[in-house]
Amino acid sequence: MRKNLSALVLAAGLMLAATGTAVFAQFQSGSYGSKKENSIDQTAPAQMSSDGNFAVANFPSFAPELAEGEGRAETESFCAMCHSTRYITMQPPLPAATWEAEVNKMTKTFGAPIPDATAKKIVAYLQAHYTAENRKQ
């Protein structure tokens, strides 16, 4: 009787293994997920000649998706004149006054040619989507 039972359990184990998912108290194996978006393509070797030119490929761009709302288009076009809008999404949620100071720094200290009315709109946009009270993405 005991022998028969062992044989039965062994058979069941083989059947489970055949389904690709073995379940035991001791371990679990054979479960796979699909996460294609986590992959990074390898870069192909560059073409080179023996002259004095030392060149690398273009540096890639990764524009983030900014929060939807009034002022997004102005923010995307004016801020991106000098830098990626990742400078916005990289920040932690910042107080409204800090966002205003940041935009002022860009226009006054760094000379960004942003019309006053547009700068105000950009400040309002950042304050509406990137503070501790309202940031979602």
Partner 1 sequence: MEQRLQSVSRRDALKLLGAAGGGLAIAKWFGADTAVAQDLQTIKTMEPFTGPGPNPHWNSIGPYISEPEKAPLILLTDRPVQLETPRSYFRTPFTPNDAFYVRWHLPEIPNRVDLAEWKLKIEGNVNKPMALSLSELMEKFKPVSLAAVNQCSGNSRSRFQPRVPGGQWGNGAMGNAMWTGVRLRELLDTAGVKAGSVEVQFQGLETGPGPKGLGSNVFLKSLKLTDSVLDEAVVAYLMNGEPLPMLNGFPVRLVVPGYFATYWMKCLTWIRVLSAPDDNFWMKTGYRVPDKPRGNTTPEEVKAGGIKTVPITRMPVRSFLVSPDGHSKVPAGMNVTLRGIAFSGYGRIVKVETSEDGSKTWREAELGEDLGAYSFRTWEAKWTTKTPGNYTVEVRATDEKGNVQPDEGVWNPGGYLWNRIEKQDIVVGKAS
| Cα radius of gyration rounded to whole Å, the chain | 28
Phi then psi for residue 32, to 5 deg, are -120, 145
Query: Comparing C-alpha atoms, which of 122, 129, 75, 77 is closest to residue 101?
Result: 122
Which residue's CB is nearer to partner 1, number 15 or number 73?
Answer: 15
**Contact call for residue 52 and partner 1 (CB under 8 A):** yes
Neighbours of 86 (CB within 10 A): 13
What are the contacts of 102-105 at 24+ separation with CB within 8 A?
102/126
Helix axes 116-129, 96-104, angle to 10 degrees: 150
Smallest separation (angstroms) from partner 1 to the CB of 61: 5
| Residues 99-118 contacting partner 1, CB under 8 A | 102, 109-112
Q: Of these, 14, 70, 73, 132, which contacts partner 1 (CB under 8 A)?
A: 132
The interface with partner 1 within residues 57-96 (CB under 8 A) comprises: 57-63, 81-84, 86-87, 89-94
Among 14, 15, 70, 104, binds partner 1 (CB under 8 A): 15
Q: Site residues (CB under 8 A) for partner 1?
A: 5-6, 8-9, 12-13, 15-16, 19, 21, 23-28, 31-35, 38, 40-43, 46, 51-63, 81-84, 86-87, 89-94, 98, 102, 109-112, 132, 135, 137
